C-alpha cells in the first residue's frame, strides 16, 4: 500500500533537455521478498513527430513502442528482466535490468504493483541517473525482520566496470545470498549486467548510507520491497523504491509539498543522507541546524516541520551546508501501510520554463495482464513549484492553457522568498506545465489501499557535461542540457571557435567545460570533463632485409613523444625474437635462422603528456627477405667544353647488379640514398665533376642495398708541340700537332698530324684520344715589323733609331748591302732611302729622308753674299721647325712660315747678334711615313762692323 508522489522537478541535467527527458534511460533491477505482480514502462514525449523506443535487457531487445506528443505508450516488462525474488540472485552478478533508447528524448517511469495492495513509481533520471559515486537510501522500520527487505541494485552501462561498495562496520547487516567477512565488496560487471545488495529491514535502516564507487558509469535503484517506516507495522507494508542520482548531480536547496496525508507526522517528512563530513541541515530558513551529519550518516525530518501556508497548503524549505541526498517520505490518508519515498531534486535557477508532457497521470498497470487503468477511487494532486512572480499555466490532454485559481496558489515558501508553490487536484491525463520563469512540478495520488508517486525531472543541481555517445576520441560526443539559451565550449580554458551548440565532438584530449546562460540566471560554467584519446590500434608492415630490424615506436597521429618505459610487447613474434631496450624503448627483432616469410608482432606504447596520455597499439607484419646483391661501378665521361671540370654521365649504364626484378634510384649522398631524399631525377643525363653517386638497388620485397658509382671526368689531352707561331706576313709555315693521338681533324679539312703552307691566321685541330676529342686552337701571327722611330742628321751623317720587331736589326741604304750599325756617314746632300729589317728577315721597311745642305757661315752685311741662313727649301716638310741657340742653349730665334725658315743673324729682325758660333736645330717629319728627322749643327756669324 503505497503513496504516490510524482513531483516533476525539471532541472537542467547537463545532458538533455531536462533531467529526466532523455534519449537513454537505464533502470537497475530490485529484490522483492513480496512479489510484484505487474510492472510496466510508461513512455511519453513532447515530440509531435512519432519515433520508436527500443527496450533492452541484458543487451537483447525485448520490444519496441512508437510514441509522440499526446500519444504516450506503455510496455509490459517481464518480471524476470527486472525483479529478483530468491537469495541465489542476491549478492552476485546477474543479467537483469533495463536499457531504453530512442532517437529523440522522452520521459520514462517504471510503475510497479502487487494487485491493488502495493504500488510504486520508479522515475528514470535518464543520463542524469548514471554516474560513478552514489550513497544508498532506504527507510527505517520499527521492527527487524527478513520477510521484508532493503534493496540496492546497480546496473553497468559499459564493459569492464569495477564496482566497490562500502558500508558501516558498526551496524550489523544480514545480506541475502552471502555473509561477507568485511564491510566492503568489489565486483566487475559488463554492460547490461547487474548486482543486488539485499537484506532484512530494521530500525537502523541496514545498508542506508553505504557508498558505491564504480570505475565507469552505473545506475542505482534503492529502497524497500517492501517496507514500512511508520510507528507501527500491524496494518501492512508497501513498495518504497526510486532511482538514485550520482554525487555530481546533488545540491543543497530543496522544497517539499506535503502529500495526501494531513496528520501523520510520523510518516510525512524526509530522509537526508550526508555525502561529506560536518554537513549541517537547516529547515524553513532557520539558522540553527536541525542536525549535523558526517558522510554516510542520515537524518529523518519530521512531518511536523511542514508549514501550512494560507491555512491549506503545507510546504517545507530545506537547505544544507554541503550537498546531500533528500528523499521525501509520503503516505495516503494517514495510513502507515500506504507509504513510499521519492528522491527530491535540488532547486536552482536553471530549471526549464515548461514541462511537456507527463503521460497517463493516474494510471497504473493494475488491469488484466498488466493493462494500464486508473484504479477505482484514485485521486491525484498536481503540485507546482516556480519562481516568485512567474505566470503559470497548465494543459490537460493538449487542451487550452489553464491558469490556476487563487485558491490553488501561489503560496510562499518560508525561508526562501524566491520560490512559490501551487496545489491542483484532482487531475488526470496527459499533463503539461508552462511558466515564464523556472518551474518544477510533481503529482501524488492513490486510493484507499494503494498510493504511489515519482519524479519526472530536475535531477541535477548544476549544469554538467555528459557523454552522448562513445568513451574517448574518436567516437566521443559530449553534451549538456539542450534547454539553455547560449553555449560556449572550452578546451583547457580556451574558447573553441564555433562550438556553440549543446553538443560537441572533441578531436583533442583535454579538460572541457561549457559556459551556459538561460533566462535571468547568471552565466554558469560546468565542472571540467576530462577527455582522453582511445587506445589507437593501427597496423603496419615492414620488411626485414639484413636479418635484424630496430622497431622504433612512433605515433601515427599524436604529437606526443613515446616514453621508453611504456613500451610493451603484447603479442610476441612466432618466427623470431623481439627484445625491448629498456633505455631507448626500441624493439630489436631477429628472425629465426634460415626463416624467410612473414612474422607478426603486436606492441604498445604511450606518450609523455603528464595527464592526457596518448597510447597506441601497433600490429606489425614483418616480411623477412634477402637484400639484392650489388657491386660498385665506375663511369667515365669526356669533359664538357662548357666546363672542362665536368662530364655528362648516363648513370643507368653503371652495372651495379646482375639480378632481375630490381629498381634503381640514384642519389648524391649515402644519407640521401638511405632516406630516399634528393633523388637524381634524370640519371641518364647527369652532369658532374669527378666524384661518386649512390644507387639504391631495391627488390620486390622492399629490401635494398646501396652501391657506389665512381665518376671519372676525362680531361682534355692537348698537343705539347703545337704552339702559336710568328711569321712574316708574306710567308708560309708548317703546323705539327705531334704524335700519340688516335686521330686529327684540322680546321682546314686536313686529317694528318702535320699541315703545311700555312699562312697567317687562326687554326684548330680536333685531337682524338680514345672516345674523347680535344679541340686545340693555334694561331699563326704576322711578326711585328720594326718601325723607324726617328733619324738624326748631323752634317753628312745620319743615325737611324728603330723600335718594334724582333732585334737584332739590319740597316741598309741600298737594300743590298746590310750592316748591323744604325749610323751612316758621309752621305751626299739630297734624298736618301734608309732600309731596316729585324731578325725575321721579312721585307724591309724603308724611309726616305732629305740631307739638307750645310751652311756653316753667314755674313749678314747686306752685300748679297751669305747674308742669311736659308732653309726655305725644306718648307714643304711636315712639322718643320728651325731653332737658333746661343752657346748657352738659349733659343734666340725660331724659324717658321712667318720668317720663311730664314735667319738673318738678328734677334727679332731688330738687333744683330754678336759675331760668334751658334747652334742650329731643324726637325721635321718625312712626308711618306712621318718619320721624325732631326738635323743639327753649328754656324758662324760674322758681322762686318
pLDDT in tens, 481-518: 777 889 999 999 999 999 999 999 999 999 999 999 88
Query: Could you identify the residue written with the cell 517504471?
Result: 110
User: What is the distance, to the nearest Å, from the Cα of residue 171 to the centroid of all Cα atoms in its chain?
Assistant: 57
Domain 633-714 has CATH 1.10.3470: no
pTM for this prediction: 0.60
Q: What is the pLDDT of residue 823?
A: 94
**Do the beta carbons of residue 939 and residue 869 sit within 8 Å?**
yes
Cell of 470: 562513445
DSSP symbols for 582-650: TTT-PEEEEEPTT--EEEEEEEEEE---SSS--EEEEEEEEEE-PPPP---EEEEEEEETTEEEEEEE-
813: Cβ contacts below 8 Å, ≥ 6 apart: 824, 827, 832, 833, 834, 835
Contacts of 179 (CB under 8 A, 6+ apart): none
Taking alpha carbons only, the member of 36, 352, 24 closest to residue 219 is 24
> Cα(783)–Cα(840) distance, rounded to whole angstroms?
8
Which region holds residue 157: left if phi is over 0, alpha if psi is between -120 and 50, else beta? alpha
CA distances in angstroms from 311 to 412, 413, 444, listed in the order given: 12, 13, 20
Burial of 618 (0-12, 13-18, 19+ CB in 10 A): buried
- The full DSSP string for 503-525 is EE---S-EEEEEEEE-TTSPPEE
Distance CA 702, CA 464 (A): 54
Q: What is the reported pLDDT for 616? A: 97
Residue ranges for the chain with pLDDT beneath 50: 1-19, 460-461
* CB-based contact 713:826 (threshold 8 Å): no
Residue 538: phi, psi to the nearest 5? -130, 165
The Cα–Cα gap between 469 and 485 comes to 23
In 263-414, which residue ranges form alpha helices assigned H by DSSP? none
Cell 519530521, residue located: 302
**What's phi and psi for 896, nearest 5 deg?**
-150, -165
Q: Which helix (H) or strand (E) holds 672?
A: helix 670-675
Residue 32, H or E segment: none
Q: Write out the residue limits of the CATH 2.60.40 domain(s) in the chain.
A: 536-624, 633-714, 787-850, 852-941
Phi-psi region of 897 (alpha: psi -120 to 50; beta: other; left: phi over 0): alpha
d(CA 166, CA 212) in angstroms, rounded, equals 7
For 2-17, write each residue's pLDDT tens digit: 333 333 332 322 222 2
Q: In 828-886, at which residue ranges do the beta strands (DSSP E only) sit?
A: 830-837, 845-851, 857-858, 869-870, 881-885
Angle in degrees, CA 866, 871, 874, rounded to 5 = 155
Domain 536-624 belongs in CATH node 1.10.1760 = no
* Backbone torsions φ then ψ of 68, nearest 5 degrees: -160, 175
Amino acid 13: pLDDT: 26
Q: Which 3 state secondary structure label does DSSP give 439?
A: strand
Domain 852-941 is of which CATH architecture? Sandwich (2.60)
| Predicted local distance difference test score (pLDDT) of residue 4 | 33
Alpha helices for 60-193 (secondary structure H): none
Number of C-beta neighbours around residue 377 at 10 A:
11
Helix (H, G, I), strand (E, B) or coil at 245: coil
Q: What was the pLDDT predicted at 449?
A: 53
Q: Per the structure block, which three cell numbers stand in for 840?
A: 725575321
The domain defined by 787-850 folds into Immunoglobulin-like (2.60.40)
**Cross-strand pairs, 184:** 166
Q: Cα separations (Å) of 429 from 9, 46, 359, 373, 382?
A: 18, 14, 7, 11, 12
- How far is CA 720 from each of CA 579, 761, 775, 877, rounded to the nearest angstrom? 68, 20, 13, 53
Amino acid at each position: 500500500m503505497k503513496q504516490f508522489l510524482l513531483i516533476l522537478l525539471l532541472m537542467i541535467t547537463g545532458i538533455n533537455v531536462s533531467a529526466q527527458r532523455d534519449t537513454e534511460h537505464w533502470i537497475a533491477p530490485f529484490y522483492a521478498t513480496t512479489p510484484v505482480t505487474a510492472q510496466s514502462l510508461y513512455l511519453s514525449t513532447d515530440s509531435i513527430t512519432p519515433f520508436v523506443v527500443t527496450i533492452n535487457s541484458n543487451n537483447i531487445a525485448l520490444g519496441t513502442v512508437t510514441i509522440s506528443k499526446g500519444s504516450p505508450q506503455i510496455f509490459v516488462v517481464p518480471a524476470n528482466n527486472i525483479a529478483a525474488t530468491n537469495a541465489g540472485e542476491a549478492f552476485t552478478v546477474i543479467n537483469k535490468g533495463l536499457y531504453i533508447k530512442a532517437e529523440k528524448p522522452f520521459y520514462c517511469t517504471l510503475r510497479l504493483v502487487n494487485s491493488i495492495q502495493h504500488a510504486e513509481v520508479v522515475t528514470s533520471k535518464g543520463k542524469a541517473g548514471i554516474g560513478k559515486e552514489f550513497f544508498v537510501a532506504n527507510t527505517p522500520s520499527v521492527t527487524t525482520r527478513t520477510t521484508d527487505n532493503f534493496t540496492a541494485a546497480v546496473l553497468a552501462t559499459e564493459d569492464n566496470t569495477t564496482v566497490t561498495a562500502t558500508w558501516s562496520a558498526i551496524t550489523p547487516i544480514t545480506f541475502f545470498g552471502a555473509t561477507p567477512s568485511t564491510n566492503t565488496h568489489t565486483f566487475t560487471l559488463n554492460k547490461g549486467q547487474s548486482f543486488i545488495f539485499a537484506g532484512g529491514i530494521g530500525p537502523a535502516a541496514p545498508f542506508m548510507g553505504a557508498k558505491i564507487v564504480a570505475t565507469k558509469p552505473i545506475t542505482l535503484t534503492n529502497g524497500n520491497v517492501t517496507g514500512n517506516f511508520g510507528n507501527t507495522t500491524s496494518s501492512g507494508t508497501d513498495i518504497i523504491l526510486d532511482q538514485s542520482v550520482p554525487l555530481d548531480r546533488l545540491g543543497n536547496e530543496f522544497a517539499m509539498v506535503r502529500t495526501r496525508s494531513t496528520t501523520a507526522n510520523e510518516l510525512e517528512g524526509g530522509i537526508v543522507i550526508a555525502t561529506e563530513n560536518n554537513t549541517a541541515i537547516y529547515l524553513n530558513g532557520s539558522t540553527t541546524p536541525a542536525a549535523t551529519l558526517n558522510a554516510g550518516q542520515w537524518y529523518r525530518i519530521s512531518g511536523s516541520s511542514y508549514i501550512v501556508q494560507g491555512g491549506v497548503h503545507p510546504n517545507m524549505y530545506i537547505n544544507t551546508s554541503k550537498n546531500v541526498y533528500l528523499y521525501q517520505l509520503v503516505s495516503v490518508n494517514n495510513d502507515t501501510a500506504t507509504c513510499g519515498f521519492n528522491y527530491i531534486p535540488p532547486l536552482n535557477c536553471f530549471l526549464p520554463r515548461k514541462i511537456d508532457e507527463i503521460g497517463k497521470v493516474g494510471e497504473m498497470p493494475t488491469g488484466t495482464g498488466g493493462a494500464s487503468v486508473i484504479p477505482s477511487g484514485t485521486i491525484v494532486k498536481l503540485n507546482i513549484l516556480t519562481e516568485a512572480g512567474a505566470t503559470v499555466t497548465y494543459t490537460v490532454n493538449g487542451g487550452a492553457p489553464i491558469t490556476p485559481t487563487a485558491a490553488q496558489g501561489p503560496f510562499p515558501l518560508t525561508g526562501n522568498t524566491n520560490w512559490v508553490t501551487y496545489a491542483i487536484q484532482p487531475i488526470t491525463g496527459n499533463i503539461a506545465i508552462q511558466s515564464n520563469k523556472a518551474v518544477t512540478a510533481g503529482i501524488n495520488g492513490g486510493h484507499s489501499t494503494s498510493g504511489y508517486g515519482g519524479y519526472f525531472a530536475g535531477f541535477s543541481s548544476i549544469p554538467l557535461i555528459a557523454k552522448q555517445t562513445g568513451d574517448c576520441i574518436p567516437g566521443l560526443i559530449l553534451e549538456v542540457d539542450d534547454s539553455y539559451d547560449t553555449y560556449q565550449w572550452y578546451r583547457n580554458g580556451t574558447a573553441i571557435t564555433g562550438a556553440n551548440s549543446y553538443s560537441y565532438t572533441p578531436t583533442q584530449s583535454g579538460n572541457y567545460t561549457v559556459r551556459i546562460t538561460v533566462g535571468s540566471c547568471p552565466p554558469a560554467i560546468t565542472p571540467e570533463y576530462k577527455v582522453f584519446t582511445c587506445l589507437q590500434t593501427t597496423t603496419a608492415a615492414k620488411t626485414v632485409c639484413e636479418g635484424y630490424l630496430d622497431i622504433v615506436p612512433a605515433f601515427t597521429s599524436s604529437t606526443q613523444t613515446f616514453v621508453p618505459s611504456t613500451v610493451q610487447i603484447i603479442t610476441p613474434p612466432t618466427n623470431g625474437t623481439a627484445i625491448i631496450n629498456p633505455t631507448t624503448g626500441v624493439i630489436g627483432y631477429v628472425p629465426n635462422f634460415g626463416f624467410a616469410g612473414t612474422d607478426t608482432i603486436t606492441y604498445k606504447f604511450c606518450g609523455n603528456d603528464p595527464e592526457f596520455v596518448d597510447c597506441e597499439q601497433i600490429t606489425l607484419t614483418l616480411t623477412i627477405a634477402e637484400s639484392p646483391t650489388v657491386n660498385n661501378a665506375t663511369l667515365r665521361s669526356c669533359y664538357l667544353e662548357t666546363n672542362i671540370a665536368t662530364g655528362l654521365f648516363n648513370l643507368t649504364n653503371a652495372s651495379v647488379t646482375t639480378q632481375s626484378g630490381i629498381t634503381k634510384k640514384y642519389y648524391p649522398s649515402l644519407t640521401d640514398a638511405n632516406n630516399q631524399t634528393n633523388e637524381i631525377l634524370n640519371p641518364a643525363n647527369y652532369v658532374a665533376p669527378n666524384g661518386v653517386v649512390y644507387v639504391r638497388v631495391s627488390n620486390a620485397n622492399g629490401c635494398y642495398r646501396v652501391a657506389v658509382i665512381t665518376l671519372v671526368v676525362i680531361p682534355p689531352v692537348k698537343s705539347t708541340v703545337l704552339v702559336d707561331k710568328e711569321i712574316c706576313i708574306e710567308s708560309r709555315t708548317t703546323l705539327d700537332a705531334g704524335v700519340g693521338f688516335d686521330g686529327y681533324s684540322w680546321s682546314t679539312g686536313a686529317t694528318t698530324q702535320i699541315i703545311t703552307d700555312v699562312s697567317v691566321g687562326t687554326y684548330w685541330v680536333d685531337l682524338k684520344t680514345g672516345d674523347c676529342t680535344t679541340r686545340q686552337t693555334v694561331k699563326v701571327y704576322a711578326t711585328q715589323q720594326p718601325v723607324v722611330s726617328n733619324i738624326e742628321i748631323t752634317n753628312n751623317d745620319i743615325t737611324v733609331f728603330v723600335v718594334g720587331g724582333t732585334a737584332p736589326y739590319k740597316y741598309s741604304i741600298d737594300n743590298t748591302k746590310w750592316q748591323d750599325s744604325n749610323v751612316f756617314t758621309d752621305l751626299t746632300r739630297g734624298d736618301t732611302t734608309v732600309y731596316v729589317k729585324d731578325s725575321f728577315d721579312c721585307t724591309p721597311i724603308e724611309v726616305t729622308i732629305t740631307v739638307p745642305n750645310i751652311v756653316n757661315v753667314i755674313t749678314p752685311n747686306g752685300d748679297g753674299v751669305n747674308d742669311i741662313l736659308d732653309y726655305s727649301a725644306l718648307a714643304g716638310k711636315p712639322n718643320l721647325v728651325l731653332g737658333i741657340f746661343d752657346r748657352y742653349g738659349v733659343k734666340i730665334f725660331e724659324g717658321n712660315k712667318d720668317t720663311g725658315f730664314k735667319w738673318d743673324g738678328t734677334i727679332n729682325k731688330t738687333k744683330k747678334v754678336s759675331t760668334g758660333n751658334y747652334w742650329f736645330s731643324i726637325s721635321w717629319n718625312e712626308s711618306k711615313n712621318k718619320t721624325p728627322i732631326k738635323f743639327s749643327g753649328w754656324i758662324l756669324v760674322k758681322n762686318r762692323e
